[in-house]
Amino acid sequence: MPIDDADVSVPAYITCSADLDDAELLTAVEELTLGNDRFRHYDHVRLAWILLRAADLEAAADRMARALRRFAEHHGSGSRYHDTITRAFMHLVAAHRAAAPAADFPTFARLNAELFDPRLLGAYYSEALLKSPGARASWVPPDRRPLP
């Protein structure tokens, strides 16, 4: 069932895949049929939520990393893929899912608005660490405080 824009608590411009149901979004990302301009942060968090419904954190994070790396490379921006950010958000989405379970993503998004705050990772990572080539290439644990 596609996301009803009336149910989404974030501005419509933040999500570009609202016309896709969960299975369609997952397929479109993994089969590289979704345009890069249709995949924003909200959609990344939604994809994490979808993957975490079907697998444990480690398996879901690995699948997310593979999918996002391929997606970025397909769209000519492979150098933009950031492994630490991807995996850190998987940890955060998993923790928020456990603390505030929701039957659908719009409800989850409303209950967990902090996942859409661009400053969120700053509570766990210094800017220098996140900007490091090592953090971009592979998982680096936080240097400020542990992820939940």
Q: What is the pLDDT of residues 43-102, one digit of tens each?
A: 999 999 999 999 999 999 999 999 999 999 999 988 899 999 999 999 999 999 999 999
pTM of the model: 0.88
Instruction: Give the pLDDT confidence score for residue 28 in this predicted structure.
Output: 96
Give residue limits of the domains in the chain. 5-118
pLDDT category of residue 7 using cuts at 50, 70 and 90: very low
b/e string for 82-104 if b means 16 or more Cβ within 10 A? bbbbbbbbbbbbbebbeeeeeee
DSSP letter for 2, please: P
| Residue 26 pLDDT > 70 | yes
Distance CA 57, CA 3 (A): 24
pLDDT category of residue 16 using cuts at 50, 70 and 90: confident
3-state secondary structure (DSSP) of residue 65 = helix
